[in-house]
């Protein structure tokens, strides 16, 4: 079996639904052993979430299957003496403890950072919450939708007529999970030098604001308040979604040479010398007029034809695809991004899950097994129902 960067790392995972499970899924893909600690009889809420009612009834909902392949499951009640004893033994032998309760929940259960590092001085403890473990909002409940609104993200998603809009997937949960995985990996690297663990207090709100990049930095550094621009890129023109003979096409001709090549290939070399469009800032000022001219020219061919022609010439361009179309791309298949796994307890039924886009020594990271049944690995940890 391929050696992976986090082989030998043991993660005790108390998380539910998405941000935390997405984090531990990344750690698992890199080789960590992840043990989900779930409430007996109920488990992760995601076990009951998804479009397939039958899977939800079996506590193997699609939302759970997507983020929990390759993990183990142990059923523990942290309010019972037996459950607490088993949990403390697991923490004592772990490298990482991960949770995404509301701030203070684990402390109220008797496991604050002082207690946890007494159990295991080398422990890396990561707490993911909506707003962090301290501050005036720390006790407030938070889901992805709430964080999208508070971060300013929804205020720049859509057009002036449609704003505010929610991003079409739970991006704040995803960003929070990625930042947690990065933080844990950094903490493990630091522990290798110092021998000591640490406490990571991760705010999904702050991680999401950080991930907004130029939208935030343009305001902080230059005082330019961001505005919703729909499918257009505020930093350059032409850069956005355009019309072709059969569907939308994204073009990002952000460099002068790319713009000039685009004008030539669309049969409109005159646009490159037009005073309204000749320079970068002028193109941004006259964006709508430029888009109209380009749309008229681009309607002469299909999106696929333009994608091939422009990409071959060094102009970033690609069709706007549906999710099924994206998953069917030859490029995605070529790199081994998708993995078929058996559905635990369901005979020969298979489910497909994603990787994370990383190849280690040329090999795609894949789950080493299917998502677990609730409490499937109780016996391995001396837990009896």
Peptide bond into 259 cis (omega under 30): no
For the question of residue 173 being annotated catalytic, the response is yes
Q: How far is CA 38 from the centre of its chain?
A: 23
Residue with tokens 């962090």: 132
Q: N- to C-terminal Cα distance for the chain? A: 33
Q: Which two tokens stand for residue 16?
A: 């539910």
Q: In the chain, what are the helix, strand and coil shares in percent, each to the nearest 5? A: 40, 15, 45
Please name which of 63, 62, 89 lies closest in space to residue 74, comparing C-alpha atoms. 89
User: Phi then psi for 265, rounded to 5 degrees?
Assistant: -70, -25
Torsion from C-alpha of 129, 135, 141, 142, nearest 10 degrees: -50
Task: Single out the catalytic residue among 44, 144, 173, 378.
Answer: 173
DSSP per position, 31-82: T-EEEEEE-TTT--GGGG-SS-HHHHHTT--HHHHHHHTT-EEEE--TTSHH
Distance between CA 21 and CA 63 in Å, rounded? 10
Q: What is the DSSP letter of 155?
A: G
Query: Contact, 338 vs 332, CB < 8 A?
Result: yes
The CB density around residue 175, as the number of other CB atoms within 10 Å, is: 23
The CB density around residue 325, as the number of other CB atoms within 10 Å, is: 10
Instruction: Please list the active-site residues.
Output: 173
């Amino acid at each position: 079996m391929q050696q992976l960067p986090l082989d030998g790392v043991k993660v005790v995972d108390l998380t539910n639904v998405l941000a935390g499970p997405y984090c531990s899924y990344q750690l698992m893909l890199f080789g960590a052993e992840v043990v989900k600690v779930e409430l007996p009889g109920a488990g992760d809420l995601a076990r009951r979430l998804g479009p397939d009612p039958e899977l939800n009834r079996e506590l193997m909902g699609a939302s759970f299957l997507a983020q929990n392949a390759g993990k183990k499951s142990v059923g523990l009640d942290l309010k019972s003496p037996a459950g607490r004893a088993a949990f403390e033994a697991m923490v004592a032998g772990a490298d990482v403890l991960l949770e995404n309760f509301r701030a203070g929940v684990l402390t109220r259960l008797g496991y604050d950072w002082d207690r946890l590092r007494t159990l295991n001085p080398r422990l890396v403890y990561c707490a993911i919450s909506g707003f962090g473990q301290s501050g005036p909002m720390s006790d407030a409940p938070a889901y992805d939708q709430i964080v999208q609104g508070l971060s300013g993200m929804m205020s720049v998603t859509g057009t002036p007529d449609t704003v505010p809009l929610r991003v079409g997937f739970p991006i704040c949960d995803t960003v929070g999970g990625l930042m947690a995985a990065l933080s844990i990996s950094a903490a493990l690297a630091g522990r290798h030098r110092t021998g000591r663990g640490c406490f990571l207090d991760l705010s999904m709100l702050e991680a999401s604001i950080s991930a907004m990049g130029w939208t935030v930095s343009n305001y902080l550094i230059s005082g330019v308040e961001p505005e919703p621009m729909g499918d257009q890129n505020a930093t350059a023109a032409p850069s956005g979604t355009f019309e072709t003979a059969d569907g939308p096409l994204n073009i990002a001709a952000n460099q002068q040479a790319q713009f000039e090549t685009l004008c030539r290939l669309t049969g409109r070399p005159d646009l490159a010398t037009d005073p309204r469009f000749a320079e970068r800032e002028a193109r941004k000022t006259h964006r709508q007029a430029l888009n109209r001219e380009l749309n008229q020219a681009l309607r002469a061919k299909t999106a696929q034809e333009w994608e091939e022609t422009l990409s071959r010439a060094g102009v970033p361009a690609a069709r706007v695809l549906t999710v099924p179309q994206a998953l069917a791309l030859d490029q995605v298949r070529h790199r081994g991004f998708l993995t078929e796994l058996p559905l635990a307890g369901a005979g020969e039924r298979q489910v497909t899950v994603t990787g994370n886009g990383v190849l280690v020594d040329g090999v795609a990271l894949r789950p080493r097994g299917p998502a677990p049944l609730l409490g499937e690995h109780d016996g391995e940890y001396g837990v009896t129902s």
